Amino acid sequence: MKLKFTVEGMSCAACSASVERVTKRIEGVNEASVNLLAKTLVVEADDNPELSDKICAAVAKAGFSAVPMVEKAPEVKQTAEKTNEEDAGKASREMKIRLFASIGFLAVLMYISMGHMIGLPIPHFFHGEENALIFAFAQFLLTLPVMYLNRKFYIVGFKALFHRSPNMDSLVAVGSAAAVIYGIVAIFMIGYGLGHGDMEIVRSYASNLYFESAAMILTLVTVGKFLEERSKNKTGAAIERLNKLAPDTATVERGGRTLEIKTSELVVGDIIVIRPGESLPADGVIVEGSSALDEAALTGESIPVEKSVGDSVMSATINKNGSFKYRAEKVGGETALAKIIELVRDAGATKAPIAKLADKVSGVFVPIVMSIALVTFCVWLLLGKSFDFALSCGISVLVISCPCALGLATPVAVTVAIGRMAERGILVKSAEALEVLHDVKTVALDKTGTVTEGKPTVTDIIADDKDALLHIAAALEAPSEHPLAGAILEYCKANSAEPQSVTEFTAVSGRGVTAVIDGKRAFSGNAVYMSEQGMVTDKYDAVLASLAGEGKTPMLFAIDGEIVGIIAVADVIKKDAPDAIERLGKMGISTMMLTGDNKITAAAIAKKAGITDVSAEVLPGDKERIVSSLMNDGRKVAFVGDGINDSPALTRADVGIAIGSGADIAIDSADIVLMKNELSDVPAAIEFSRLTLRNIKQNLFWAFFYNMLGIPIAAGVLSGFGIVLSPMIGSAAMSLSSLFVVTNALRLYRVKV
């Protein structure tokens, strides 16, 4: 079973690693994954009703809090989301107050402690050795409000330290507390020096107070957190936009009356009235009227789609013109929009395999940093350096180290990418699929509905009198149930050839049909059928062979024993198929088409699309076998199909991509769903994956590089060259590192593929 929890109290990757570690230790838990960005814990476990309580208890013991996430009814969910937004707004306001108040006290503190260094006028009672105690004590009093305003670092940090799960807050708490404690000791030493007339002690301690460092550390880290949170909030922009697409109210017809009700009160079977400019509140089928609907929000398709009676419509699409009524088929959490939001949110909470490296490092990062800080302090003392210098280096090591950058490197990029792809109509079900996709070298494609449109279409009309041929065809095909008959009849109606009534209609399986039209016997079928009816087809053999060679199905039409023309029908390739195949080739990806059709038709379709490798006359099971053999060659393989009869191959492939209608988004066997039914989204998805992985690698590189470079400098290894990093600079650098990672990930919003 899968359990989901909301986890509070996490501030960095070390926190998330700790939560994962304690959860995995519980008997019955098979896998645990924490998303630091989403503050969620997803657990795969055995079916045990007591397991949820055990997980919450274990997480609480580690110093955090976990609350089970439960599915809510639509109305409750909307209320909860509104409450969450209000809570987030309140937290943001509180952080602003905390930040600006801290900056205010820090500004006064910096003026008093360092103003004289740049020639600023300082009150006389802060000058001189005789006023050293006032000078030191004033700084202490100004530091206390900053510590109180940012007490969260101490509460969370020391609590995590007590539970042997130190995190970033622990580093900040220990570093700033050490500076303050040293400052308090300095106040006592200044008092001692003044009392005993030892001005050397007074001068020494008065010139090496660290109150401003402590306040600066707390304030700069808060600045970084504030900017980081603002940036991270943008990562959920796609989900927020999707959430706001559905209207709050709907107009329905009930009991002969037209009512306006809340969208959450809709039930299956309701007749919903839609006017121009309105957004649809549920999925359903049009029962009256017609219009053009803008489906861009769900599918990414910019051109409005014409809809009429009998057509399916989706929630959150916008009615451009005209009015219509439709019957609700899916409401609330069952709509296409709700499933898309759930899919995107769940995918954002998963972890990409590349994140495992950062997780392993994060799990031991903070203890190692604290050890390095202690060793740094001791080594410098043993080497004869002053206590002040050793303490400064130790504190700098603590505050420059940033597990946050490591923890955010992957989830921020994944969340932004999955949201951005969803806006285009590419739904990714997991971060793992997003990562694997970037390494795909072979794309295997189903033919029908993937490379082709998936429905027969009239492609050629060969006749001396086209109108006469279409009227005969309309009459003959109207009673027929053959799949090709529907395509011909649709074409005839579009060209004003309405079907006439016929008598003595007979269908011959695999051959054709015959009927009497206005007293004359008419026929429709292949050449064999026509020959069986005594008609000569020799002069049409070349044309029939040519059409068949192009993957088309030619049908002869005759009346009164005379052939009057040919109508060719085919499942035509999608307009974007050749460009998509060409683009995949330029990306270094080979393509292969798998189809159950005959070899002639398959070869013709493949040639038009630009595919050179074709396997025809294969069954669904054979497709899975072919995909498996391709994977055995060591190449990452993606299979693109319709998600129904291709499910074995979709499941077997490294990445299964379902291409189809936006209403069919819950295809279990696919890792990625392309809602626009366009083949061009396949190379687009792969390009997105490559850009995302590149972004993640950039983030991880800078996070590792920053710590590998910053920690030694903070420890004072370059002090011999006059390069010493103060705790204030270290805390500023720590804040900027996390901000850099988040900002770099947000660049994915500007990507166009």
* CATH number of the domain encompassing residue 56: 3.30.70.100
Burial 627-652 (b: 16+ CB within 10 A, else e): beebbeeeebbbbbbbbebbbbbbeb
Same-domain check for residues 208 and 355: yes
3-state secondary structure of 213: helix
CA 535, 538, 540, 544 torsion: positive or negative? Answer: positive
190 vs 1: CA distance, rounded Å: 64
CB atoms within 10 A of CB 88: 12
- Residue range 169-175: mean pLDDT, rounded: 81
- Is position 691 within any domain? no
Do 438 and 463 fall within a single domain? no
Do 186 and 109 share a structural domain? yes
Q: Is residue 563 part of a domain?
A: yes
Lowest mean pLDDT among 48-52, 123-127, 298-302, 434-438: 298-302
Number of Cβ atoms within 10 Å of the Cβ of 136: 25
549-557 mean pLDDT: 87
Are 292 and 277 contacting, i.e. CB atoms less than 8 angstroms apart?
Answer: no
CA distance 350 to 35: 7
702-716 pLDDT, tens per residue?
878 877 888 898 888
Report the CATH number that the domain containing residue 322 is assigned in CATH.
2.70.150.10
Residue-range definition of the domain harbouring residue 544: 457-570
In a domain, residue 268? The reply is yes
Q: Which of 305, 334, 363 is a domain's end point?
A: 334
Whether residues 97 and 219 fall in one domain: yes
The CATH number of the domain where 585 resides is what?
3.40.50.1000
pLDDT of residue 424: 82
Tell me what pLDDT residue 73 has: 41
Q: What angle do CA 559, 565, 566 make, to 5 degrees?
A: 125
Q: What confidence tier does 168 reach under pLDDT thresholds 50, 70, 90?
A: confident
Is residue 683 left, alpha or beta, with left meaning phi > 0 and alpha meaning psi from -120 to 50?
alpha
pLDDT of residue 569 exceeding 70, the answer is yes
C-alpha Rg value of the chain to the nearest Å? 35
Q: Taking the alpha carbons of 25, 27, 31, 37 in that order, is the dihedral positive or negative? A: negative
Amino acid at residue number 58: A
Alpha-carbon span 680 to 581, nearest angstrom: 8
Say yes or no to pLDDT of 450 above 70.
Answer: yes
Span 603-617, average pLDDT: 89
Beta strands at 440-446 and 636-641: parallel, antiparallel or unpaired: parallel
Average pLDDT over residues 536-545: 87
Q: Which residues are known catalytic residues? A: 446
User: Can you give the pLDDT at residue 326?
Assistant: 94
Distance CA 43, CA 58 (A): 13
Type of residue at 409? A
Which helix (H) or strand (E) segment is 153 a member of? Answer: helix 151-162
Is residue 31 in some structural domain? yes
Domain tally, the chain = 5
Which residue has better confidence, 9 or 610? 610
Q: Is residue 679 within 8 Å of 447, Cβ to Cβ?
A: no
Q: What is the CATH number of the domain that holds 508?
A: 3.40.1110.10
Distance CA 675, CA 642 (A): 11
Q: Estimate to the nearest angstrom the gap between the alpha carbon of 530 and the chain centroid.
A: 57
Residues 630 and 657 in one domain: yes
Distance from the first to the final alpha carbon of the chain: 38
Which of 426, 344, 304, 418 shows the shortest CA–CA distance to 680?
A: 426
**What is the pLDDT at residue 77?**
45
Mean pLDDT of 113-125: 75
Please, which residues bridge with residue 440 across strands? 636
The partner residues of 346 in beta bridges, in order of sequence, read none
Please report, for residues 6, 10, 600, 628, the alpha-carbon distance to residue 95 in angstroms, rounded to integers and kept in the order given: 21, 16, 69, 54
Ranking 2-11, 558-567, 606-615 by mean pLDDT, the lowest is 2-11
What is the structure's pLDDT at 76? Answer: 39
pLDDT band at 83; cut points 50, 70, 90: very low
Share of the chain above pLDDT 70, in %: 86
pLDDT surpasses 90 at 378: yes
Compute the average pLDDT of residues 43-51: 86
Choosing from 70, 103, 118, the residue where a domain stops is 70
Q: Please report whether residue 110 resides in a domain.
A: yes
Confidence of residue 469 (pLDDT cuts 50, 70, 90): very high
Residues in the chain: 753
User: What one-letter code names the amino acid at 736?
Assistant: L
Q: Which H or E element spans position 740?
A: helix 727-746
Tell me, yes or no, whether 488 lies in a domain: yes
Please list, in sequence order, all residues whose beta carbon lies within 8 angstroms of the beta carbon of residue 255, skipping any fewer than 6 positions away: none
| Residue among 568, 554, 546 at smallest CA distance from 458 | 568
Same domain, 488 and 545: yes
Please calculate the CA angle 659-661-664 and round it to the nearest 5 degrees: 95
In a domain, 76, yes or no: no
Residue 74: the pLDDT is: 43
Across 492-549, the runs of DSSP E, i.e. the strands, are 503-508, 512-517, 520-525
> Does residue 136 sit in the same domain as residue 283?
no
State mean pLDDT over 472-476.
91
Is it the case that residue 615 has pLDDT exceeding 60? Answer: yes
CA dihedral 21, 25, 26, 32 (to 10 degrees): 40
In the predicted structure, residue 82 carries a pLDDT above the cut 60:
no
- Using pLDDT thresholds of 50, 70 and 90, give the confidence band for residue 613: very high
Ramachandran angles phi, psi of 354, nearest 5°: -65, -20
Q: 243-257, 549-563, 566-580: which range is least confident on average?
A: 243-257
Residues 488 and 470: their CA atoms lie apart, in Å, by 9
Segment 524-546 shows an average pLDDT of 88
Model pLDDT, residue 91: 67
Alpha carbon distance 507, 480 (integer Å): 7
Q: What are the two backbone dihedrals, phi and then psi, of residue 241, each rounded to the nearest 5 degrees?
A: -65, -40
Task: List pLDDT tens digits, range 200-240.
Answer: 888 888 877 778 888 887 887 787 677 666 655 655 555 66
Flag whether pLDDT at 364 surpasses 70.
Answer: yes
In angstroms, the CA 201 to CA 589 distance is: 74
Q: Which residue has the tokens 């060259």?
A: 721
* Residues forming a β-bridge with 602: none
Burial of 724 (0-12, 13-18, 19+ CB in 10 A): middle
Q: Does residue 623 belong to any structural domain of this protein?
A: yes
Residues 252 and 275 in one domain: yes
Q: What is the mean pLDDT of residues 241-266?
A: 84
pLDDT given at position 401: 76
566 and 581 belong to one structural domain: no
Q: Do 547 and 668 lie in a common domain?
A: no
Instruction: Report the candidate in 653, 605, 602 with the shortest Cα–Cα distance to residue 625.
Output: 653
The DSSP secondary-structure symbol of 274 reads E
Question: What value does the mean pLDDT take over residues 370-376?
Answer: 91
Report the alpha-carbon distance of residue 258 to residue 260 in Å, rounded.
7
Return mean pLDDT, the chain.
82
Tokens of 214: 């402590």
| 403 and 265 housed in the same domain | no
Is 588 a residue whose pLDDT tops 70? yes
Q: Tell me the per-residue pLDDT of 298-348, one tens digit each, with 9 for 90 and over.
A: 665 556 788 889 988 888 888 887 889 999 998 888 887 787 777 766 666
Q: Please say whether the beta carbons of 271 and 240 come within 8 A.
A: no
- In eight-state DSSP terms, residue 653 is S
Q: Cβ–Cβ contacts within 10 Å for residue 167, how many?
A: 31
Report residue 666's pLDDT band, with 50, 70 and 90 as the boundaries: very low
Q: Which of 534, 550, 570 is the last residue of a domain?
A: 570
Pair (527, 629) in one structural domain: no
